[in-house]
Structure 1
Amino acid sequence: MDYTKNFYQIKSNEEIFYKISREKETIGYYNLAFQDTSEFKEYAKTVTQQDIVIVGIGGSSLGTYAIHKFLQHKENMKKLHFLESTDPLDLERRVSKLDLDDTLFIIISKSGTTIETVSILKYLTSITTLDKSNTICITEDDSKLNTYAKTNDMKTFEIPKNVGGRFSVFTAVGLVPMAIMGLNIDEILTGCKTIYNDYFDRGDYYLSIMEKARFIVENKNRFNINVVFSYSSLLEGFNKWYVQLWGESLGKININQTKQGLTPVALTGPIDQHSFLQLIMEGKRDKTVTFIKVADFENELTIPDITLPGLEELDYTNNIKFKNIINEQADATIEAIQNLKDIPCDIITIESQNEYNIGKLMYSYELLTSIVGSFVQINTYDQPGVEAGKIILKNKLKADNK
Structure 2
Amino acid sequence: MKNRLYFVSNHPKAQAHAFQAIENEQDKIGYYTLPDQDITPILEYADKIPQSVESIVIIGIGGSSLGAKAIYEFVKPVNDLKRTLYLFESTDPIDINTTLKQIDLDTTHFIVISKSGTTVETFAIYKYVYSLLPKISAYTFITDQGSPLDKYAQEVNANVLYVPQNVGGRFSVLSSVGLLPLVLCGIDVTSLLEGAKRIKESFFEQGYMQEPLLKKAVFYAKNHARYNINCIFAYSESLKYFCEWYVQLWGESLGKHQRHSAFHVGLTPIGLIGPKDQHSFLQLLTDGTRDKSITFIKIENFEEGMTIPDISLPHLESLDILNSISFDTLINMQCDSVIESLDHEGDIPIDSIMLPKVDAYTIGSLIYYYELLTSLVAELMDVNAYDQPGVENGKVILKKKLQKTKR
TM-score by length of 2: 0.93
State the secondary structure of the residue aligned to 1:296: coil
Q: How far is the alpha carbon of 1:330 from its aligned partner?
A: 0.7
Q: How far is the alpha carbon of 1:320 from its aligned partner?
A: 2.4
Pair 1:103-2:95 in alignment? no
CA distance in 2, matches of 1:288, 1:155: 45
Q: Is the 8 A contact 2:18 2:214 kept in 1?
A: no
Q: How far is the alpha carbon of 1:305 from its aligned partner?
A: 3.6
2:188 to 181, 184, 197: 184
Q: Is the 8 A contact 2:81 2:186 kept in 1?
A: yes
Question: Superposition pairs for residues 2-401 of structure 1, below 5 Å?
Answer: 12-47=14-49, 48=51, 49-72=53-76, 73-132=78-137, 134-254=138-258, 255-308=260-313, 310-401=315-406
CA distance in 1, matches of 2:317, 2:47: 54
Q: How far is the alpha carbon of 1:336 from its aligned partner?
A: 0.9
CA distance in 2, matches of 1:180, 1:273: 37
Q: How far is the alpha carbon of 1:180 from its aligned partner?
A: 0.9
User: Could you tell me which amino acid in structure 1 is paired with residue 381 of structure 2?
Assistant: V
Map of 2:9 onto structure 1: none
User: Could you tell me which amino acid in structure 2 is paired with residue 24 of structure 1?
Assistant: Q
Runs of 5+ in structure 2 lacking a partner?
A: 1-11
Q: How far is the alpha carbon of 1:229 from its aligned partner?
A: 0.4
State the secondary structure of the residue aligned to 2:337: helix
User: Could you tell me which amino acid in structure 2 is paired with residue 215 of structure 1?
Assistant: F
CA distance in 2, matches of 1:307, 1:78: 43
User: Could you tell me which amino acid in structure 2 is paired with residue 91 of structure 1?
Assistant: I
CA distance in 2, matches of 1:319, 1:344: 34
Q: How far is the alpha carbon of 1:339 from its aligned partner?
A: 1.3
CA distance in 2, matches of 1:319, 1:204: 36
Higher relative contact order (CA 8 A, sep 6+): 2
Deviations 1:101-144 (A, max 9, x none): 10000101101110000000001011222312x21011111111
Percent sequence identity over matched residues? 46
Q: How far is the alpha carbon of 1:218 from its aligned partner?
A: 1.2
Q: Is the 8 A contact 1:292 1:350 kept in 2?
A: yes
Deviations 1:259-282 (A, max 9, x none): 111111110001100001100000
Deviations 1:159-204 (A, max 9, x none): 0230000000010001111111111111111111111112111222
User: Could you tell me which amino acid in structure 2 is paired with residue 363 of structure 1?
Assistant: Y
CA distance in 2, matches of 1:113, 1:280: 41
CA distance in 1, matches of 2:351, 2:257: 28
Deviations 1:365-396 (A, max 9, x none): 00010011111111110000011111111111
CA distance in 2, matches of 1:161, 1:110: 11
Q: How far is the alpha carbon of 1:308 from its aligned partner?
A: 4.6
CA distance in 1, matches of 2:128, 2:310: 52
Q: How far is the alpha carbon of 1:304 from its aligned partner?
A: 3.2
Runs of 5+ in structure 1 lacking a partner?
A: 1-9
TM-score by length of 1: 0.94
Q: Is the 8 A contact 2:230 2:293 kept in 1?
A: yes
CA distance in 2, matches of 1:392, 1:311: 60
State the secondary structure of the residue aligned to 1:265: strand
State the secondary structure of the residue aligned to 1:80: strand
State the secondary structure of the residue aligned to 1:12: helix
CA distance in 2, matches of 1:130, 1:150: 15
CA distance in 2, matches of 1:56, 1:33: 23
CA distance in 1, matches of 2:13, 2:135: 52
Q: How far is the alpha carbon of 1:34 from its aligned partner?
A: 0.6
1:126–1:307: structure 2 CA closer, same or farther, 3 Å change rule?
farther
Q: How far is the alpha carbon of 1:208 from its aligned partner?
A: 0.8
User: Could you tell me which amino acid in structure 2 is paired with residue 31 of structure 1?
Assistant: T
1:156–1:269: structure 2 CA closer, same or farther, 3 Å change rule?
same
User: Could you tell me which amino acid in structure 2 is paired with residue 316 of structure 1?
Assistant: I
Q: Is the 8 A contact 2:199 2:368 kept in 1?
A: yes
Deviations 1:140-161 (A, max 9, x none): 1111111222222221111023
| Number of aligned residues | 392
State the secondary structure of the residue aligned to 2:351: strand
- Root-mean-square deviation (CA), in Å? 1.5
CA distance in 1, matches of 2:45, 2:310: 49
User: Could you tell me which amino acid in structure 1 is paired with residue 95 of structure 2?
Assistant: D
Q: Is the 8 A contact 1:75 1:181 kept in 2?
A: no
CA distance in 2, matches of 1:17, 1:107: 36
Deviations 1:275-321 (A, max 9, x none): 01100000011111100000001111233344455544433323322
Q: How far is the alpha carbon of 1:344 from its aligned partner?
A: 0.8
Q: How far is the alpha carbon of 1:75 from its aligned partner?
A: 4.6
